[in-house]
Structure 1
């Protein structure tokens, strides 16, 4: 039967022993379905592929009565009718949306088929951590195609206390949807990370003073000989431990790795993954076949050569693993424990391992080595990367400033203990002769 579907029709429809449908007399296929339980819902019935009696009937549920008014349901049905007339199958569209990947599914596809297949192992590990630890817990249950800019902005805001991580999360999402676009998994040019303003990142530069370097050197020497004293908890857990065992030495490979980082300015993984076959002692070079910036040569200075000469070759890796079982087979994973102990011993709790690389560059810049030379030593692929140390390359500026200030001080009759004192004294003697 067919009638005009209004709220009055809905209220008057009573449940029967079997489910039945009341169709609308204005929009063909639009109907009200009543179940024996009394549940009522809106439906749309149609024939796919432009209609025709040879095509089987299909039925798509629009929504439940109560969730949609008759007017709202009628608008949806009219949209479906328009789609059918253009050869679009509403039910197939609905099924496709239901089967569309979630953010979590798309993310893991991206990691497996793009990141792990086409990026360096360290980059892949970084991406995996970002998605598994930060993004999937927040967005994973959402359909990838339905994630909005507001959803991404909310995630970005939740990470505001760590601006670097917040911005990397934004970049990770953007890269994910670029991948999905290329695979045709989302609508073309759909990227919910677009036009979200990044947080300002303050560059962290921590350089060591001469006193701090002295303490660091002393700490490494003590750590590899007498050992690092244990921190005793207030509960007194160590009261029965013999005095001579209340310090733990670091292994010689950890000490060597720290010295190589300090003397060469190399990145942590470049030292931990260094193989003996890459070491050219005769020419004083580390010939790395791969690094963050590709193939790279690191110059070995005299202190670095001395460190390498004193190391035994236990396996293919220069810095042997922390345990006997792994030291011949795989590179050392990290230096976290020995470094934490050494910096605590040296009283440098805020110094990171990567700061040793910055410190190497700072010494070079402060010594007037020139930014191009420093960039070559560090293996920077872009001059802009080395430019962060430009303010330390001040030797020519300091000489100019000293000369200018010396002239001004001489004119003022001021004494100075800095460079340029001789010029001031000459000026004073000249004035005395004139008087």
Structure 2
């Protein structure tokens, strides 16, 4: 098994053919910095030339003669299972004709089918053939698993720095695809700490933020997202921050959450504390009327009902935001940093029917790892607007910053490593030290 690098796929394949021959098997291929990378393999035993054999003389076919196909193997199996004293069956399947092509590979021509389909073909029943296919599939899966392990071992042997960085980034919560892309840009042979710092800087470069878009630009902003992620509290924090900068008469709140008991009352309490008006909208028309009456406000924050990404009412609620033509609404998706990666990706997929202006990650004080949130933001192409880390209004919110997010993810990673070491028995801890 060998790895090849080239500027394009054609040159890489030529290298494979020249080095391993035309019988090489391509195990994997991917784009890397400066071109493509191909991993190819070949059976070493199959490469070695066989000893010259004397020219074959015509002889009757025996069991010792190698079979040329699966059909011939099954035919021989039928002959071996049949007793010599038993008469041959009245029906015998016509033998397929074999022709040899220019590259000495047998080409099978199936005989013309007749109207009779035998119950027993080639010595194998339907159940036996199905079992054989199942065994072949199992062998194929096993080989793929083993080859995957061999490829990882080869990377660890030939590119130990890359393998170490990928493992460390994945432990931090970064997805394998992003970790591998970042590690490809780090040269081998550098100091491990320098390489790690380079990897973190590259990770920062992959993140996008909105640069405090809501509080500096103003306008109409709606916070959308699933239940329990903290949309109402986040709206209160943003409104309070804006009131501190520009005055309470420059901001207004609207809630469309008429499903949850006490949701509108909670927002009204925040409005009284901040000193800004709060309106309730039950449908798209009431939302448009409320926004029209508040058109003199510099910032209008809209609190939507929390619904699961698979809730049938979700499309109706999102339609209320899209139908508004009087004032363009910028939707921000609110996500919990404690959610699983698959849940985050599924949520983003469902809410991407809206032209999302960015996202807000909440509950950073409760999460054990931030790498998953970073990976989702990068892979889904979402700019991060704000980060919340508690219930206090308006203190527990900050503008998203690429360096802070990566540094916080590294801090949580180091904390988990220290926690795991402290939980070890004393003998194991001394061995780690």
TM-score range, shorter chain: under 0.3
Question: Which structure has the larger Rg?
Answer: 1
Higher relative contact order (CA 8 A, sep 6+): 2
The structure richer in strand per residue is 2
- Give 1 or 2: higher helix fraction: 1
